Amino acid sequence: MTIPEHNLPWWRHDRPWGFRFSTMDAGIFISGILSTIILWYFIGSFALLTPYLLGHFFLFCNTFRIGGERSLIWIGTFLANVYFWPQTRNLWLHLVIQTAITVILIVQCVLGKHYHGLACATVNPTRYRDGALSEGAFTRKVLLTCRVPKPLVEILIGRRLDDLKMDI
């Protein structure tokens, strides 16, 4: 299989595997840097959350292609850490916890049978492309359970629900 010359949108099931970086990603990084600089004058060190979140977004979506399920776990633990941070007043503890969760999720993804991120052809040469087709099953179930309209779910996952085998 040859590597496509361009990246397809994130919602396309046939998007290319491996590492990706687009002009939109560059624009997001530039806006993130500018917003961090501007926010620094208003909220101080809390502005560092912007590059922290963008860095994780880049790791999860562009480098290791983690997927929706693990991203939801990361977001949940991040929100819990943000909630408990003022109560414990120990920023380093929460950074260590969040970093450990990040590492665990990345390792779990890379060692999984459907890995399709950076160096996937080397790490998982026989099955790296299958992951893109099965990705999003948990997210799809959550959206449907939350009664998100089916046409919107189809737009978000990039596939018709009738074409998928679902065990909901």
State how many domains the chain has. Answer: 1
**Residue 160 resides in a domain:** no
**Residue 42 resides in a domain:** yes
Local confidence band at 126 (pLDDT 50, 70, 90 cut-offs)? low
**Residue 50 resides in a domain:** yes
Q: What is the pLDDT of residues 76-122, one digit of tens each?
A: 899 998 888 888 888 788 889 999 999 998 888 888 777 778 887 77
pTM, entire model: 0.65
| 133: pLDDT strictly greater than 50 | no
Percent of the chain with pLDDT over 70: 76
CB 18 within 8 A of CB 162: no
Local confidence band at 132 (pLDDT 50, 70, 90 cut-offs)? very low
**Residue 23 resides in a domain:** yes
Q: Which residues constitute the domain of residue 57?
A: 19-63
Q: Residue 82's pLDDT is what? A: 85
Average pLDDT taken over every residue of the chain = 77
